[in-house]
Homo-oligomer: A and B are copies of this chain.
Amino acid sequence: MPQTDIDWTTTEKDLAQAAFEKAYHREVTALVEEVQQTVQEISNLDELWRLHDYLSARRHDIDGKYDYRDSMFLFAFSQLIKEGWLSLEELEGLHPSKRQKVAALARM
């Protein structure tokens, strides 16, 4: 990986952090709303445990995805874009090579 992709300027770090928080807020809000809706349709224990299984999976997923280490930013962003929690346009301000890498990873 070329040096330009490893170094993050302070501005880029701030931007990355803000983009992360935006995606996080969107995903969490959507999840809470989804759970609030789903739970109203539950009428038996199997359905409740299905919701529990779903929450276990989402918790594992979210805990792993929002990795604030610089070295993981590009992978994390590509994942968030793939899932629709962030758009490439919201990474405007990052070095073009980083955005290209995110775009390429998101297409995988």
Name A51's closest neighbour in chain B (CB-CB). Answer: B55
A33-47: contact bitstring with B at CB < 8 Å (1 yes, 0 no)?
Answer: 001100110111100
Say how far A39's CB is from chain B's closest CB, in angstroms. 5
A32 touches B43 (CB 8 A): yes
Q: How many copies does the complex hold?
A: 2
Say how far A80's CB is from chain B's closest CB, in angstroms. 15
Contact surface of A with B, Cβ cutoff 8 Å: 28, 31-32, 35-36, 39-40, 42-45, 48-49, 51-52, 55-56, 59, 62
Which 9 A-B pairs give the minimum distances between C-beta atoms? A52-B55, A39-B39, A28-B45, A36-B39, A32-B42, A35-B39, A32-B48, A52-B59, A49-B59
